[in-house]
Structure 1
């Protein structure tokens, strides 16, 4: 497949932070030199939030494809106001992305047609993309290493930009190197091992 032409953004401001985050947890992001670009008020806010904003990175890429650039955590802040994220006031843990509030947020703020999808067979994604331009797919984050068998499906979001009956192409906000970040192309059967059969279709 050809390149998508869709701008790529990591969920970290420095795309190379994936392996440190995997090794050290969110605290690794306290040393991200580009954290201010996220829209966070403090580096602590950035570090705690960035591990949960794969969905906002997908939205940022969709908006960038039509020429708009929005800081990732500014998007997350407004999405939280809609209920797309729920912050635990005791330990500052974050639950989300919650799909239904995100759909409302995307429609009201950006005029995006979006729909929550469940029970989506991997083989149906090409037809789905013939109706809407993008599909934000729930996959296991280990998809950055497609040769591995994931322990489960879902829990991480990637932006699918194209699919045929044989292959699928996507941007992964937490890819650890260039090959696993932008315009990743995998056989549908490999993608299926990670895909939780749910996501959000989006028409920009």
Structure 2
């Protein structure tokens, strides 16, 4: 366990282009009304509206790329590449993903990242990875944005762990609430256990090899 709090200076990206409007979007306002949708690189507002609620993983990847000094592609062209790599599987209006192993392999090959798929990722390992200079794309329930007392399940949404200390982690949440739980949100380990599925992908600077 880390003895001091370490927080990496990772820039924040929402999965919606207008981060200030996240409360509206998660309450049911259609993403097609996002005034900044064209920044996503989508061909239409409808294409953007389809993908924006589904690309928490791409938002986490974009944060990581920016932190490590890489060019940051727009979100929708990025998700198209991830589809081609098998990190998502689309069947009509249904999308399966993020699928960790092909995502990690693609992130390593395409961007030269250290990317390790971790189907078993307890909190202590998350802390150790942050202490080692990496970030963690972690599966949690979306209600982590409010630290809901009784989430209905663990997992289903992806956040980026950018910091850790003896008793907490620090997350960037692509669907967090502005001014409350988007950037550098401290989550006590006791709370994290209620939301985390204990799996994800470790990302960081290239070490010359990655494991999936």
The TM-score normalised by the length of structure 1 is: 0.92
Q: Counting helix residues as a fraction of each chain, which structure ranks higher? A: 1
Q: Which one of 67, 74, 79 corresponds to residue 82 of structure 2?
A: 79
Distance apart, 1:22 and its partner CA: 2.5
Distance apart, 1:9 and its partner CA: 0.5
**Which structure exhibits the higher relative contact order, with contacts defined as CA atoms closer than 8 Å and separated by 6 or more residues?**
2
Secondary structure at the aligned position of 2:169 is classed as strand
Query: Does the 8 A contact of 1:132 with 1:201 survive in 2?
Result: no
* Corresponding position of 1:135: 136
Distance apart, 1:44 and its partner CA: 0.5
Tell me: CA distance 1:169–1:140, structure 2 relative to 1, closer, same or farther (3 Å): same
Query: Does the 8 A contact of 2:7 with 2:162 survive in 1?
Result: no
Distance apart, 1:132 and its partner CA: 5.0
Note if 1:123 corresponds to 2:124.
yes
Structure 1, unpaired ranges of 5+: none
Secondary structure at the aligned position of 1:142 is classed as helix
Please give the per-residue CA displacement for 1:149-200, whole angstroms capped at 9, x wherever unaligned.
2110000000001112211101000012222100001211111110000000
Tell me: CA distance 1:13–1:59, structure 2 relative to 1, closer, same or farther (3 Å): same
Q: Which one of 19, 25, 39 corresponds to residue 21 of structure 1?
A: 25
Rounded to whole Å, the distance in 1 between the matches of 2:146 and 2:121 is 23
The TM-score normalised by the length of structure 2 is: 0.89
Structure 2, unpaired ranges of 5+: 206-212
Please list, as runs of the form range in 1=range in 2, the aligned pairs for 1:43-192 lying within 5 A after superposition. Answer: 43-67=45-69, 68-89=71-92, 92-192=93-193
CA-atom RMSD in angstroms: 1.6
Query: Does the 8 A contact of 2:6 with 2:131 survive in 1?
Result: no
